Amino acid sequence: MPEVIFAGPSGRLEGRYQHQKSKTAPIALILHSHPQFGGTMNSRVVYEMFYCFQRRGCSVMRFNFRGVGRSQGVFDGGIGELSDAAAALDWMQAMNPSAQGCWIVGFSFGAWIGMQLMMRRPEIQAFISISPPANIYDFTFLAPCPASGLIIHGRNDQVAPEADVQKLVDRLSAQRGIKITQQKVEGANHFFDNHLKELKQHVEEYLDMRMPPVEEAAS
């Protein structure tokens, strides 16, 4: 899996990128959790999502927000991190100008950033938000939400409680023209400790609905 360094708004950004041979392969960008609470592109949730999309035949990237790992800059409360995500998507689109499909996947803080990016980039056709911290960040900018997607969270999440995520799901589900799929993982905490298998299973099932597996895509 190639390491990549690309230009961001505050200097170089470090990522991992897997390129597919097909020029029309969809692209997927994976965003990690809060940089000031241990979030990196190498967290297990982000790592597993990266490989879920790679197995689907997508060109996929995960990267470190500014100030994390070898990425330059300092934490900017979300504003700069949104610009980082936009720069990562720009880089991916330059590498894949004929891509058919664009996904954004965010974990926790990354879910908040990813949904903001989706509002600004109409080419993003689908999203997966994992443990969205609806109790901490304002998601009311999703009015209307421009694409259908999956929201998945643990029922034992003490960081982003189930009741707050449910309010977000209910608000989005009331909007016309999109479909919000919700999955609750019994017993799982914010980081899906000991429940990664269930997380991956729900994501794979959702991808079965939205895009064909690699074998079908190649046939």
pLDDT per residue as tens digits for the range 152-190: 999 999 999 999 999 999 999 999 999 999 999 999 999
Q: pLDDT (tens digit, 9 = 90+) per residue, 69-89?
A: 999 999 999 999 999 999 999
Look at the block and give the residue holding tokens 């197995």.
Answer: 55
pLDDT of 211 reads: 87
Q: For strand 59-63 and strand 11-18, is the pairing parallel, antiparallel, or unpaired?
A: antiparallel
Q: In which band, very low, low, confident or very high, does the pLDDT at 212 lie, cut at 50, 70 and 90?
A: low
**What interhelical angle do 79-95 and 109-120 show, nearest 10?**
60
Look at the block and give the residue holding tokens 């982003």.
Answer: 160
Instruction: State how far the Cα of 208 lies from the Cα of 212, in Å rounded to an integer.
Output: 6
Instruction: State how far the Cα of 167 lies from the Cα of 159, in Å rounded to an integer.
Output: 15
CA angle 110, 111, 112 (to 5 degrees): 90
| DSSP H or E segment with residue 8 | strand 3-8
Instruction: State how far the Cα of 65 lies from the Cα of 36, in Å rounded to an integer.
Output: 11
CB 69 within 8 A of CB 40: yes
The structure tokens listed for 56 are: 């689907």
145-174 burial, b if ≥16 CB within 10 A, otherwise e? bbbbbbbbbbeebebbbeebbeebbebbee
pLDDT of 1 reads: 61
Cβ neighbours of residue 85 under 8 Å, at least 6 residues apart? Answer: 29, 31, 65, 113, 114, 117
Instruction: State how far the Cα of 98 lies from the Cα of 104, in Å rounded to an integer.
Output: 17
pLDDT of 215 reads: 44
Please state the CATH superfamily assignment of the domain spanning residues 3-218 in this structure.
Alpha/Beta hydrolase fold, catalytic domain (3.40.50.1820)
